[in-house]
A = this chain, B = another copy of it.
Amino acid sequence: MPPLVPVSLPATRRFAMPVRVYYQDTDAGGMVFHATYLDFLERARMEWLRSVGWEARRVVAEFSVMFVVRNAALDFVRPAVLDDLLDVSLAVVHAGGAHLELDQRVDRAGEPLVRARVELAFVSLPGHRVARMPGPFRAALADWTGPQPEHSPP
């Protein structure tokens, strides 16, 4: 299988957050357990959504909609280990009316550890039927879809 995720991407605006590695994230192989990276990626997605005003619990209560992960492809390039301070980031690859395709990365001091492509579907509750994102959210996303300078939270 060739690499699932191309390592380069046209320079786009990226959201990044730091994540520390604790014992809970590692396994007896001495490194971060592979499934744990999906947890790290979720944290970055949720903080990014929060940064555009989209808090998950409030959105569910007000709009009866949520994002679900439809598919994910991960390349585990190098292992992270205990005590590492990781840089977990995302960029919007494609924003459709009802889904979102993200490039997500885990790096350590500029060194690539994990490369991921994650597709989210926007669904209504209950029933998880695919829905269209509300206008204000599509507008907020527009800020993240064009090529822009690197961005980190303050």
A residues apposed to B, CB below 8 Å: 1, 3-4, 20, 22-24, 26-31, 33-36, 38-39, 42-43, 46-47, 50, 55-58, 66, 68-76, 79, 81-83, 101, 117, 119, 128
Q: Write the nearest CB–CB distance from A39 to chain B, whole angstroms.
A: 5
- Name A72's contact: one of B23, B57, B68, B74 (CB within 8 Å): B74
CB distance B43 to A20 under 8 Å? Answer: yes
Q: Is the interface of A mostly helix, strand, loop or mixed?
A: mixed
Whole-angstrom distance between the alpha carbons of A27 and B56 in the complex?
Answer: 13
The 6 closest A-B pairs by CB, nearest first: A35-B38, A26-B28, A73-B73, A34-B69, A23-B27, A57-B82
CB distance B75 to A70 under 8 Å? Answer: yes
Q: Which residues of B contact A57 (CB under 8 A)?
A: 28, 81-83
Contact A66 B29, CB 8 Å, known A76-B71, A82-B56 = yes
Whole-angstrom distance between the alpha carbons of A87 and B31 in the complex?
Answer: 27
Q: Write the nearest CB–CB distance from A111 to chain B, whole angstroms.
A: 15
